[in-house]
Chains A and B, each alone.
Chain A
Amino acid sequence: MKRVFSLLLVVVMVAGLFAGCAPKAEDTTTPATTAAATEAATTAPAPAEVPQILKWNVGADPKTIDPTLNGASDGGDVINQTFEALTREKSGVVYPGIAESWEVSEDGLTIVFKLRDSKWSDGSPLTANDFVYSWKRGMDPATASEYSWIWEYTNVVGAYEAVNGGSLDDVGVTALDDNTLEVKLSTQTDYIVSLLSFYHFMPTKQSSVEAKADGAWAKDPATAVSNGPFMLTSYEIGKGLTLEKNPNYWNAENVKLEKIEAVFIDEASTAYQAYQANELYFIPDVPAAEIPRLIAEDPEFYVYPLLGTYYFNFNLNLDLFSDARVRRALTLAIDRELITETLGAGQVPAAGFVPPGFLDADGNDFFETAGNYGIPTDLSKLDEAKALLAEAGYPDGAGFPEFTIMYNTSEAHKMVAEMIQEMFKTNLGINTKLENQEWAVFQDTRKEGNYELSRGGWLTDYMDPSGLLSIFTSQNAYNDPKFNNAEYDELLSNSSKTGGKEHFDLLYQAQDILMNELPIIPVYHYSDFMLAKDALVGWDRSVLGTIDFSGAYIAE
């Protein structure tokens, strides 16, 4: 009976949400107990007698499944099955995809990709020109791809300019012949080959794209020509889609699943019931109330680190937070362990901004090497916090003006905000008010700086700590605290022009400054989780969180 009520509670909470929040990572999330889903990938092939049909819940009905237009995780999960980029990344390892091999020039500024002979799902040949076409379509403002900003981080010559209205002819992407693609970079970019495995960089076939406008082609089996392990055979709005094995995929002999029957269930408790009843084999979300039990007892529950951080922004334009001692006192007065324990999904308390999962040039984890900047995960430095606050002129919080903690409407954010409110009150004697705004409104409020302390969350888009750290450079559009530090800007700018150890040393120094100045209060690092039946083996995911069924099969 207890389970029923916890289920009900979840439904009540969900029903109260409505807010059109960003992907799942926005609200829930956790880090590492990790799992080894990949080990079976190389074992014996699927027994022939088991029907190779995967029943999968995608989540919400994706906004689009056109690789170039997509910017959401649910769409990305589908696209990763139907398309393939130059490379395919699984669990952080980059495998050759449509590119057989690639060569990076001495100075790191030119990469030449050698493409294998491969075909589209309609049997026509796929050439380097298809990549040039798709990539330029992505950059072209007329296409209006919401993900086009990613080009800035590729450092491809002329790409950023093209996104902002410059000429597409000046972009450093050339098809030297049908099987050779040359990419010119403006600066050495070590993560580029891994980044190019991302859905935005997957090829599309021009005649197919032009058959139906605005990505509608990708949802219509008649026009949805793709080049990945699977191809689309049906799509029903709001209901689901069917993928079948693509016989023209270059690596089709190693694709074991014959069919994927995908549904769109965005109610976690319903999908969970269906999973329990064996009507689904793989679900990307579970009811929040079930997570602690699943972590403890269910071997089919997988938790991965998600490369992002949950934090609060100080509005540095206000006198209230101009004193670094005040910011540090508030940061030290938060019991991060209590928060992550309460959230219950094993989130990692954050003492810095860069989450676990990034390896530096020496192969060490950036998060661990960076240390904790004297910010403990519990209240062990509360005396220091009190002393700092007294030094700043507010002994025991006396005279400190009441301020407002602002967050976007959601049960999870509300809980964190309430805990922080209580901690400020009990630990420092500071009174705060809470205010929530609906997501679309909240983003404007935050961008315009109409807040005192506001919730923030950031996930990286590529495998480098600068994917997080760069948002606090003074000119960055996402610099919500309005942090303005010339040295920090310079360190990040220099780091983007260097590679190897030098690159990471500069990023370590940058985070030192950030954690000294504390324009934000780091709270915890996100994580990602899913339920997958034991019978489903060989599935994988990219470090950025995209699901990969190319090597999956049903075992029993």
Chain B
Amino acid sequence: MGSYYLRRIISAVMTIVLIATLTFAMMHSIPGGPFVREKAVPDEILKALNEKYNLDAPLYIQYLDYMKGLITFDLGPSYSKIGTSVNDLLEAGFPTSAKIGGMASLLIILIGIPLGIISALKQNKPIDYIVMFMATLGVTVPSFVVATLIIYFFGGKLGWIPTFGLDTWRGYIGPVIALSGYSLSFVSRLTRSSMLEVLRQDYIRTARANGLSEFKVIAKHAVKNALIPVVTYIGPMVAAIMTGSFVIEKIFAVPGMGRYFIESIGNRDYTTIMGMTVFYAIFYIIMILLVDVAYSLIDPRIKLGKE
């Protein structure tokens, strides 16, 4: 077991190094630089800027320097917010994104999974149709539409929630709903189809034939096994949701980290692109590891470390 985790950690580190290297290479291959301005910066100043940010060094030196910083999680200075480091941006943005993302994840798990189960148990009954109709709507209507409508009706027209910001608990309602909409719908659909699949399995029939109560059959045997694909989806989803959404944060004016993923590319803010990508990668890998652990808890047939 210990050697399994050791192997996982080594492969995780290698993955992160690979991701950082690829991102570094790709971002330096796109044209334009961080100091391209409508009003061209004088040559002397440009030279000083490049020197200051180490951009005049050969690429492989820049790469090595960056990787050196990465070991101590020093992500370097942001080019588009002078005097602010990428670590500062993360420290300011991640807690906010994580708070909204965490609430949205909870909402997805606590509502999405039960809805899917109910739907499956009541297959082709009115409640199944209603849930699946809502779920289809949730998957197809983009989050920015939901967000804009929430602000317009509940913020502007009715005044129930503030139109921007997170200063009161009401401020969280809009972003959390808009952020969870898609995944909540997806999870309930996934749970439903997975449940239906499991309910047709032989061991469920056997359990019933053994005279187990219907509740026990569902709770102990069906749901547990039906959750495997759901957990597979939820792991990476949590990483994605908790690192923020560009659109949701922009529309609700939430000071999270989601915007930096997009803005830093337009600004050629190399260090911020790198920092966000690496941070997300680490989070993602941790979530995948947790998913694997969850597998072995849900289904004893799955043993970690044995192929």
Contact = CB atoms under 8 A, between A and B. Distances in A.
Contacts, number: 172
B80 interface: yes
Contacts of B35: 146
A7 B152 contact: yes
Contacts of A438: 32, 266
Contacts of B162: 274, 277, 279
A64 B88 CA distance: 14
Contacts of B41: 146, 148-149
Nearest to A151: B42
Contacts of B89: 237
B48 interface: yes
A53 B159 CA distance: 21
Interface stretch (A11-19, A128-136, A488-496): A11-19
Given A443-B38, A477-B40, A277 B250 contact: no
B259 interface: yes
A286 interface: no
A142 B51 CA distance: 9
A276 B266 CA distance: 31
Interface in B120-163: 144-145, 147-149, 151-152, 155-156, 159, 162-163
A293 interface: no
A236 B44 contact: no
Max chain A Cβ within 10 angstroms of own Cβ: one of B35, B41, B80, B83: B83
Contacts of A11: 144-145, 147-148, 251
A277 B145 CA distance: 20
Contacts of A264: 253, 255
Given A439-B266, A440-B32, A22 B149 contact: no
Interface in B14-67: 30-33, 35-45, 47-49, 52
Contacts of A214: 77, 82-83
B182 interface: no
Contacts of A267: 250-251, 253
A61 B155 contact: no
Given A22-B38, A145-B45, A440-B32, A270 B255 contact: no
Given A12-B144, A238-B256, A440 B36 contact: yes
Contact of A237 (B32, B152, B255): B255
B5 to A, nearest CB: 36
A15 B45 CA distance: 34
Nearest to B85: A216
A253 interface: no
A217 B82 CA distance: 11
Max chain A Cβ within 10 angstroms of own Cβ: one of B42, B88, B263: B42
Contacts of B31: 440-441, 444
Given A63-B81, A443-B32, A263 B45 contact: no
A287 to B, nearest CB: 10
Given A237-B93, A270-B151, A219 B266 contact: no
Contacts of B82: 63-64, 66, 69, 214-216
A216 B47 contact: no
A64 B259 CA distance: 18
Contacts of A149: 39-42, 45
A18 B263 CA distance: 7
Interface in A298-350: none
Interface residues of B, number: 57
Given A8-B148, A146-B45, A216-B83, A274 B268 contact: no
Interface in B217-233: none
B277 interface: no
B267 interface: yes
A4 interface: yes
A144 interface: yes
A237 B47 contact: no
Contacts of B147: 11
B248 to A, nearest CB: 11
Contacts of A279: 162-164
Nearest to A456: B38
Contacts of A26: 38
Contacts of B44: 141, 163-165
Contacts of A14: 250
Nearest to B166: A239
A276 B151 CA distance: 12
Nearest to A213: B83
A478 interface: yes
A164 B40 contact: no
A124 B139 CA distance: 61
Contacts of B155: 273-274, 277
Given A146-B35, A215-B83, A4 B152 contact: yes
B247 interface: yes
A401 interface: no
Contacts of A12: 144
Contacts of B92: 236-238
Contacts of B114: none
Interface string A265-299: 11101110110110100000000000000000000
B28 to A, nearest CB: 13
Contacts of B149: 4, 8
A144 B52 contact: yes
A399 interface: no
A212 interface: yes
B302 interface: no
Contacts of B265: 18
Contact of A269 (B43, B48, B93, B148): B148
B172 interface: no
Interface string A196-239: 00000000000000001111111100000000000000001111
A363 interface: no
B42 A163 contact: yes
3 closest Cβ pairs, A-B complex: A20-B266, A440-B32, A216-B83
10 contacts: A4-B149, A71-B39, A216-B84, A237-B84, A239-B255, A269-B251, A271-B164, A438-B266, A440-B33, A441-B32
Given A18-B266, A443-B37, 18 more contacts: A12-B144, A22-B37, A22-B38, A64-B81, A71-B37, A141-B42, A213-B83, A237-B88, A239-B165, A267-B250, A269-B151, A269-B251, A273-B155, A274-B155, A277-B162, A441-B32, A443-B38, A457-B38
